[in-house]
Copies of this chain bind each other. A is one copy, B any other.
Amino acid sequence: MIKVGIIGVGTVGTSVAQILKDNADVISARAGTDIVVKSGVVKNLNKDRGLGIVLTDNVDDILNDSKIDIVVELMGGVDEPFEVVKKALKSGKAVVTANKALLAYHRYELAELAKDIAFEYEASVAGGIPIINALRDGLSANHIESIMGIMNGTCNYMMTKMTNEGVAYDTILKESQELGYAEADPSFDVGGYDAAHKLLILASIAYGIDAKPEDILIEGIENVTQDDIAFAKEFGYAIKLLGIAKKDGNEVELRVHACLIKQEEMIAKIDGVMNGISVIGDKVGETLYYGPGAGGDATASAVVANIIDIARSGKSTPMLGFDKPMEANLTLKPTADIKSKYYLRVNVSDKAGVLAKITKIFEDNNISVETMLQRPSSEDSANLLISTHTAIESDIQNMIKEIEVLDFVNSTPVMIRIV
């Protein structure tokens, strides 16, 4: 019998305990052994969770319990769980976590500590979708060319609603908060940080590349308006917040930002709170994984799958999927060097000569315009909606700086990359 200790019995922790009970028949048949929760750590011992497991408010009660085989870490945060998980691994306990922030900062140290013991983290990326399983095992024969994913359900819900119902960003943000999809402080989701944590984890498995959130391009969806959505629709695009990892020669791009993406692409068809991740391998081509990226039961489904794996075979796969460096010389591409097509929205005073001046600045920066629309935004101002051919990020950034100081430009231009 395998005994589990859960550190952090909140929504996901409760679901983990519940699934191990509810589905004990299939779990025991698949794991080849019974799996039970021996105890759980909570902050507030007075709250009854109705789970019938021993509760404590002391982490050491689990870490020092020699009868516990697997520690499930669901505390949240970075530093404290890192200490807890290190202790667990050092005392020979396998660890399962759903903590993406912990991994975004400490995955390589953890891989080192978990050389001979299982450390699993399927639930840390895209909730119930077994994407880590797919990338680490199912696609292991491939050089990964790119990963492109809707990794944040809150943002996807908001963009879908803005697209389908024409509502404003602020309106849908408020609704998302009321529905519990967005936090009171939504910046972790809408600012792209949550997706970035997940992207870094996947990029390590795909490329063995080390980077922290601070090292990569992270933008959110806060500046997307109905003007942008109308432009997207007119030219056959959807707007999505994507996490993108892409190999280009010996460099890997890692970036999170809103994207215009062609409506025919499978990933553009993923709507609502759902997540979806497209992976292109050099041999297999494109595969895509779709499902719920959050929620107690969906996340716990992935945690319990990891527990079953460990019960079956202990440690069967290196934590990040490789035992020695994979592809020689892969380095992180500097953000300034990224190449992309771009969409820009420039709000200008509606005066003669404006268009000529703007297009001159594009030309001076070697940026070639693909399409341009002008739409009135008030009585005396207009939005210029412009898409470019492939350009270099640094050129675009320089051009935006030149444009935003012009006297007839009313606000900082909004830029969305086209993929």
Contact = CB atoms under 8 A, between A and B. Distances in A.
Instruction: Report, as a range, how many residues of chain A touch the other chain.
Output: 35 or more
A323 to B, nearest CB: 4
B285 A287 contact: no
A129 B135 CA distance: 11
Interface string A33-66: 0000000000000000000000000000000000
A415 interface: no
A365 interface: no
Contact of A290 (B130, B140, B290): B290
Contacts of A313: 313, 316-317
The main secondary structure of chain A at its interface with chain B is mixed
Given A29-B324, A284-B298, 10 more contacts: A26-B322, A30-B322, A30-B323, A32-B323, A134-B138, A137-B308, A141-B300, A141-B304, A141-B305, A285-B297
A79 interface: no
A302 interface: yes
A122 B297 CA distance: 27
Nearest to A26: B326
Contact of A138 (B305, B318, B324): B305
B283 A301 contact: yes
B286 A23 contact: no
A287 B323 contact: no
22 contacts: A19-B141, A23-B283, A25-B326, A29-B322, A29-B323, A29-B325, A32-B324, A128-B287, A129-B138, A130-B138, A140-B305, A141-B300, A266-B269, A266-B270, A284-B292, A285-B292, A285-B297, A287-B292, A288-B289, A289-B290, A309-B316, A313-B316
A157 to B, nearest CB: 15
Given A134-B130, A141-B301, A321-B30, A23 B282 contact: yes
Interface of A: 15, 19, 22-23, 25-32, 122, 128-130, 133-134, 137-143, 208, 266, 269-270, 281-292, 295, 297-298, 300-305, 307-309, 312-313, 316-318, 321-328
Nearest to A288: B290
Contacts of A304: 140-141, 283
Contacts of A323: 29-30, 32
Nearest to A15: B283
Nearest to A135: B130
A305 B30 contact: no
Given A30-B321, A324-B29, A283 B269 contact: no
